[in-house]
Amino acid sequence: MKCGREPGGIKADEFGICPAAADISFDGINSGTCGGRICWAVAGTFCEGKVQGTFAEKRNSCMSCSFYKTVQEEERTANRHTKFLRFISQDDRNPVFDKMAYKHIKKGERFVCQGEVEDTAYIIQRGSCLVVVEKEGSLHPVDHYGEGDIVGGLGILTGEPRRAHVEAETDMELWVLKRENFEDISTKDPELLTFLTEIVADRLDSRRPTAYRTIGKYVTTDIIGRGAFSIVYKGIHKGLNMPVAIKMMRHDMATNDEFLDSFHSEAKTIASLNHDNIIRVYDIEERYRTVFIIEELVDGISLEGLLERLKTIPPPAAVHYLIQICSGLDYAHQRDIIHRDINTTNIFVRRDDRIKILDFGLACSIGTEDMTSFGTAFYMAPEQIRSEPLDQRTDIYALGITAFEMVTGKKPFPVKDLRRLFEMHLNRDVPDPGDVMPNLPDGLRGFIRKACSRDPLKRYQTAGQALSALQTIAKDFSLTQKYLPPEQRKMSTVFLMYRDEHQLELNRLMEEFSIKARKLGVELKVADFRDL
């Protein structure tokens, strides 16, 4: 409404910043323009030349506001891929309605109560509602749902108490969906798994203010990436205020029992990987019928993004990057872990030109039979396509394809038809990169051809061998820097502030901690600071 009370607005100094654009009382996430979208539910907003009262006091005037009507229309038509009503109304899904009750809610009625545990979700046939969090006696509007949306869908996934109240903004007509009906739909309709991923992703995204943005100890913010297997968010650790990346596995992956069993058996090993060129995995959370992997947040650009910008990577820089990738792979392979999905999207280039290998969350043990063919088709080795046992040479093949793309700017087999692409990987040698880039140095050309051999016996047999070859090539470019850092020890500092009467219990606690730390090879040093 151009009130001028936005942060930095022309009337912000005189009247203060609009509370709809500055409310951070619920986990600090409801500020900015998203908060402004539900300004009619926030007390003290500025409209028609004066400061407005509470939602109850201004409800009628807000309902006739042009901005309110605009948002209502947007909510009705936007985010079609997360509109549950449209999903179950498609094709032959109409019989689902036979299992659901129909309910009428009057304007102002609260039909979901914060703190209650229910096995019910609601699909909005007509009308709209507000999601309101009650905190320390105050009400904080955090979300808004309209026609076609599902209300309480995440609640019936987790079985947890409701995180917020839901109040009818207008008269509403709802379909009532019980958990057992939802389970029945899930079992009989595998497409629902893909749909569930989009619902959860939408609820966790910062494009709309919402009460659902917490994953255990973490709060999600922006979606920063989407892939075949996962959706990645930027987030923070609530207690430590530490930035993290939060990777949500797509539901069709998370419900694959074979994948989950393998994933959990390797999760501890993957989390223990500690190498400068491998992204750190901090934590695993299981929520909303899927798995969240909490990782180190890296500032930089993917190799794919860098190639889009530069078209090709100069050979000296390519060798510099390949040495670091090989160093990380060699470290992982020595610990019986293969990556299984090396490609340009999973290689991240930091601002200091250091490499981070991403997506070790999909790794597996050497010797795994890849029955589910995880991987990215353009980079998959022949044995991976044939679902044969995998080893470190599978990663080396993908690394060779990645190297080909780095120096030529093209994929060796740039076809979109999946069957034809697989046939080419199985039956054709990768083209000579020197034919695409005539001035490509012979050493790098030979490295790519050997790494991309269809026969695993003709490839480099270990990442260590590949690394040695690259270090020899590096000398031709005068890349004399030692890229393999020596084994280093790290130190973390923790300060414990306590009173004298806590000394005895603290000593016992530190003794228990020290015993567990020594089993991990961690040395504990304690220093006292008096009279702080």
Cite the active site residues: 341
CA distance to 32, 52, 324, per residue, from 23 (Å): 8, 16, 45
Helix (H) or strand (E) holding 243: strand 242-249
For residues 245 and 296, the answer to whether their CB atoms sit within 8 Å is: yes
Q: What is the residue whose two structure tokens read 């985010």? A: 79
The C-alpha atoms of residue 374 and residue 394 are separated, in whole angstroms, by: 12
Measure CA of the first residue to CA of the last residue in the chain; give whole Å: 53
**Among candidate residues 278, 280, 282, the one with its CA nearest the CA of residue 292:** 282
Q: How many Å apart are CA 331 and CA 132, to the nearest integer?
A: 49
Token pair, residue 250, equals: 């797509």
**By the 8 A CB rule, do 449 and 464 touch?**
no
Alpha-carbon distance 421 to 38, whole Å?
Answer: 49
Residue 183 burial class via C-beta count within 10 angstroms: exposed 0-12, middle 13-18, buried 19 and up: exposed
d(CA 307, CA 409): 7
DSSP 8-state assignment for residue 152 = S
Alpha carbon distance 91, 87 (integer Å): 9
Under 8 Å between Cβ of 80 and 195: no
Q: Taking Cα atoms as reference points, which of 506, 476, 508 lies closest to residue 494?
A: 506
Closest residue by Cα to residue 294 from 308, 310, 279, 309: 279
Question: How distant is the alpha carbon of residue 188 from its chain centre?
Answer: 27
**Residue in the block written with tokens 């958990």:** 179
Edge-to-edge strands of the sheet including 281-287?
214-215, 218-226, 230-237, 242-249, 290-296, 281-287
Residues 500, 505, 511, 513, CA torsion sign:
negative
Residues in the chain: 532
Rounded to whole angstroms, the Cα distance separating 230 from 253 reads 9
**The two structure tokens encoding residue 62:** 């807000």
Would you say 342 and 379 are in contact if contact means Cβ atoms under 8 Å apart?
A: yes
Percent of the chain that is helix, strand, coil (3-state, to 5): 40, 20, 40
- Judge contact between 433 and 448, C-beta under 8 A: yes
The angle at the Cα of 339, spanning 223 to 309, to the nearest 5 degrees, equals 50
